[in-house]
Amino acid sequence: MSVSNQSDFLTSFSDDDNDIDDAINASPVHEISYEGTLSKWTNYLHGWQSRFLTLQDGTLSYYKSKFDTGYGCRGSVSVAKASIEVHEFDNCRFDVNVGDCVYYLRADEPTEKQNWVEILESAKQAESGYGSEPHLPKAVSTLSLSSQPSLRSSSSFQKSAGLREKLMEMETFRDILCRQTDTLQTYFDSCADGNAGNNSTQKLDLEEEDEDIDDMAATPTPSSFIRGGSTTTANPSHAIDFRGEAITFKATTAGVIQVLSHCIDLMTKREEQWKRKLEREQEKIRKLKEQLKDKPSIDMADNQFSGPDFMEGPNMKLNEEQFFDAVDTALDVEDENDDDLDNIDKENIPPPKPTSEIMSAPKHKYSKMLETKVKENLVLIQEQVEAENTEWYNVYEDGDLKVYRKDVEIEGLVCDPLKASHIIHGVSGHEMCHYFFDKDVRLDWEVTVEKVKMIEKLSENTAIFQQIHKRIWPSAQRDTCFISHIRQLGKEDNVERMDKEVERPWTVQNISMEHEKVPNDKFVRAVANVVMLCQTYTIGDVKKKKYTRENIACKLTYMAQVNPGGWAPASAIRQVAKREYPKFLRKFSSYVQTVTADKPLML
């Protein structure tokens, strides 16, 4: 680089520095401030929550609301060290990432999101002291990068230089040995072609040759060592420097042995290094396998699954197998935490009400709709599942408990109807339906429900409920709103009677609906239509209608069709349903048998 070019380069570098200073002075970090309300991802239990955010002095802080700014922030990050990433699919979302801390933020409008992103980028550049991209001294950066050697390649060369150098020496020794072998072969050929008859002359020549060899051995030349120096001439009568060649050959072979020994040492050390590295990797694999045995397949506290993108949704990053494994693991935990039926306070659980109180229900505003749905559901629940050309097929069978399913998808969502039948000994159909309808005992046997709330009581046998289900990661938390109705059926309901039936069948029907007191804004609203039909019959011969718990049983027929709402993998929904329905029926049946064991039989 010439002197003038160097001067121009330094001048331009100085100008770039001035531009950077001007950019910083034009927008100092303490003058960049912004505030507003955004939705922030909190956790898997509460999801997105409204939070008030402020940007001041290069720090992004958030509060529960604008009125809480005087009580201290809930969290803050330095913008200078943050990376601001716009979401790939959601036009209103962006993430602020600082190391292991990530703020998942979402605006109401794309323009509001863009304003936040731009102001955060400006604050980041001002805080870091580099200003905007056009002011960066690119010439200096390019020069420094091109002039610096690669540290990684240099390190690799130093590690392998010893072995490569010795291999080059081996090549040199190989060439020397080849030339020396040729020289010795020439000597042997000359000896074979010599005149054996002239002993005196031969002896004299050999003595002179020995003197010459002694003189040459006393003063060896470097060139003869390097080139395998030969004194061979075109005349074969002249002797070859055999001793010199022997000394040179011996020195060359000693050098070869030394180099080979050094190469072996290097390769042995390298082999030991690789062995130690392999042992460390094998130890890591062993420990990971042990951890996998002790942990669930999906660790909910793991940072790998810590963001909303792993939440249930069409852009969810978990595949179907991981989704099902996570749900299955969470359900296993629920099973472990489930209280034993022996701990239930059976004395404080009231018996069913007399049939007359239940049947004397006044009319209400949903009566017409309810009667229509009840009749439709009674037709569906009596549909034969084992007839020819039926769409039902068996998915579970264990003794008297059988579960059938019909594959139905509505707008890509799995809404499979399921029908189950079960025999419960020692209880009546009235008792089964009563405890299924009674909200006060529902949490004793329904392990997947978090809260049951009565929205409106329409009569003694009809009410509207909201049921909030437990959050099972990675699925979203769901609720249902339904009208629940219990009654004993009459002849006009056209239900097929059983042999030895004791009384008319009982039914409980839960029919999904919307209600003004239950807005659909906090949870994912699921639609669930449930029908339970219970028929009481006798076991063996019963004289004078003396029914006891030992000689009666209840045939329970249960049908449910659930639209889960939102989005979830079809295979996961079907696998969970196949697992949960039999477990629910057994749990509920055992519960009724337990709480009625010491009570009079209610028909």
Q: What is the pLDDT of residues 69-115, one digit of tens each?
A: 887 888 888 888 889 999 877 788 999 988 778 899 989 888 999 99
Give the pLDDT score at 225. Answer: 36
Q: pLDDT per residue over 414-436, tens digit each? A: 888 999 999 999 999 999 999 99
From CA 473, how far away is CA 332, in angstroms rounded?
12
**DSSP designation for 501:** B
Length of the chain as a residue count: 603
C-alpha closest to that of 507 among 587, 598, 429: 429
CA atoms within 13 A on the CB side of 510: 22
Assessment of whether the complete model's pTM goes beyond 0.85: no
On the question of pLDDT at 2 being above 60, the answer is no
Name the residue with higher pLDDT: 4 or 88.
Answer: 88
424 backbone dihedrals φ, ψ, rounded to 5°:
-120, 120
If pLDDT is split at 50, 70 and 90, which confidence band does 361 have?
Answer: low
Position 114 scores a pLDDT of 92
| Residue 211: pLDDT over 90 | no
Q: Which carries the bigger pLDDT value, residue 206 or residue 150?
A: 206
Tens digit of each residue's pLDDT (9 = 90 or more) over 535-562: 999 998 888 788 889 999 999 999 999 8
Residue 169 has a pLDDT of 76
Binning pLDDT at 50, 70 and 90, where does residue 347 land?
confident
Q: Can you tell me whether residue 12 is helix, strand or coil?
A: helix
Average pLDDT value for residue range 151-179: 62
CB 471 within 8 A of CB 45: yes
With b for 16 or more beta-carbon neighbours within 10 A and e for fewer, the 567-596 pattern comes to bbbeebbbbbbeeebbebbebbbebbbbbb
Q: Is the bond into 474 cis (omega within 30 degrees of 0)? A: yes
**In angstroms, rounded to a whole number, what is the distance separating the alpha carbons of residues 447 and 239?**
108
Q: Give dist(CA 131, CA 139) in Å, integer.
A: 17
Greater pLDDT, 60 or 157? 60
Would you state the pLDDT for residue 20? 39
Which residue from 168, 61, 37, 213 is spatially nearest to 123, judged by alpha carbons?
A: 61
Task: Report whether 450 contacts 478 (CB < 8 A).
Answer: no
Q: What is the mean pLDDT of the chain?
A: 76
Domain assignments of the chain as residue spans, ordered by start? 34-128, 352-597
What is the pLDDT at residue 591?
92
Mean pLDDT of 397-419: 87
Top-confidence residue, 343 or 451:
451
State the pLDDT at residue 444.
87
Among residues 583, 585, 529, 591, which one has the least CA distance to residue 559? Answer: 529
* CATH architecture entry for 34-128: Roll (2.30)
170 vs 75 pLDDT, higher one: 75
**412: CB partners within 8 A, 6+ apart:** 567
Q: Could you tell me which residue, 270 or 432, shows the higher pLDDT?
A: 432
CA-based max dimension of the chain = 151
pLDDT value of position 215:
44
pLDDT of residue 51: 92
Q: Which of 272-281, 355-364, 390-399, 414-423 has the lowest mean pLDDT?
A: 355-364
Task: Work out the pLDDT band at 143, boundaries 50, 70, 90.
Answer: very low
d(CA 585, CA 193): 111
- Note the pLDDT of residue 162: 65
What percentage of residues in the chain have a pLDDT greater than 70? Answer: 72
Tell me the C-alpha distance between 489 and 374, whole Å: 10
Comparison of pLDDT for 202 and 557, the residue scoring more: 557
* Least-confidence region, from 40-44, 204-208, 436-440, 456-460: 204-208
State the pLDDT at residue 481: 95
Most confident of 246-250, 270-274, 307-311: 270-274
Task: Look at residue 292 and tell me whether its pLDDT is greater than 80.
Answer: no
Check residue 514 and give its pLDDT.
93
Of the two residues 394 and 219, the one the predictor is more confident about is 394
Whether residue 37 has pLDDT greater than 90: yes
3-state SS, one letter per residue, for 105-151: EECCCHHHHHHHHHHHHHHHHHHHCCCCHHHCCHHHHHHHHHHCCCH
Query: Domain 352-597 maps to which CATH number in 3.40.50.720, 3.30.530.20, 2.130.10.10, 2.60.120.10?
Result: 3.30.530.20
Instruction: Band the pLDDT of 338: cuts 50, 70, 90.
Output: low
- pLDDT at residue 582 tops 80: yes
In the predicted model, what is the mean pLDDT of residues 453-466?
A: 93
Average pLDDT over residues 467-493: 87
For residues 437 and 78, give the distance between their C-alpha atoms in angstroms, rounded to a whole number: 55
